[in-house]
Chains A and B, each alone.
Chain A
Amino acid sequence: NAGVMQNPRHLVRRRGQEARLRCSPMKGHSHVYWYRQLPEEGLKFMVYLQKENIIDESGMPKERFSAEFPKEGPSILRIQQVVRGDSAAYFCASSPQGRHEQFFGPGTRLTVL
């Protein structure tokens, strides 16, 4: 059973460009979470999604950030008009219905030049 998959693993963007981060949850998991980790810091919650629904986006910046988890395909975290402060590691986690455990992917390290 493959774990949580994220791609790309590394992404370099120039200021003003768009970044698209993809996450495929573990097989059988219907819940997806996105977290951001800044250097030397813990993980900060961004958004929680189920298929075709955003359940909790309380950690998402109000502008430029969006997330989706379509019926088919991976979950996408989209950052428009990136700025240097968006440089971070973005982790996706998934969990099965009715369980606490969250299993993390390897992350996407975004660098904004």
Chain B
Amino acid sequence: QQQVKQSPQSLIVQKGGISIINCAYENTAFDYFPWYQQFPGKGPALLIAIRPDVSEKKEGRFTISFNKSAKQFSLHIMDSQPGDSATYFCAASKNTGNQFYFGTGTSLTVIP
């Protein structure tokens, strides 16, 4: 059973556009929601993360929006650049020292 559902599977965006990736979860015990960026042949790199006590967190061009009642969260990449082309994974966990449940990933391509 997929604990975290991610969409879309792939996304093509023009340079300068906004990339939006969505995730949904069921387990209300989750209290930490990170996003990871992965380039081919590399390990996932932590991009940004949010706790359920806030509805939005912004770091540079990356913003997480969190909707606790809908059990959904999304990653927005503003002013998307070709260098942002990568696979993005959302994840969720409960408490510290626990496994992450990952979404299935979104392959983002930013066209120059």
Query: Once the chains bind, are B99 and A59 in contact (CB under 8 Å)?
Result: yes
The range of chain B's interface size is 20 to 34
**Inside 8 A of B98's CB, which chain A residues have their CB?**
48, 56
Tell me which of B42, B97, B101, B104 has the highest count of chain A C-beta atoms within 10 A of its own C-beta: B97
B interface residues (Cβ-Cβ under 8 A, vs A): 6, 32, 34, 36, 42-46, 49, 89, 93, 96-105
**Inside 8 A of B101's CB, which chain A residues have their CB?**
45
Query: Once the chains bind, are A95 and B97 in contact (CB under 8 Å)?
Result: yes
A43 interface residue (CB < 8 Å to B):
yes
Q: Which of A12-20, A63-71, A79-87, A102-110 contacts B (4 or more CB under 8 A)?
A: A102-110
The 20 sampled A-B contact pairs (Cβ below 8 Å) are: A33-B99, A41-B104, A42-B103, A42-B105, A43-B89, A43-B100, A43-B102, A44-B102, A45-B99, A48-B97, A48-B98, A48-B99, A91-B43, A100-B34, A100-B93, A101-B46, A101-B49, A104-B43, A104-B45, A106-B43
Query: Once the chains bind, are B44 and A43 in contact (CB under 8 Å)?
Result: yes
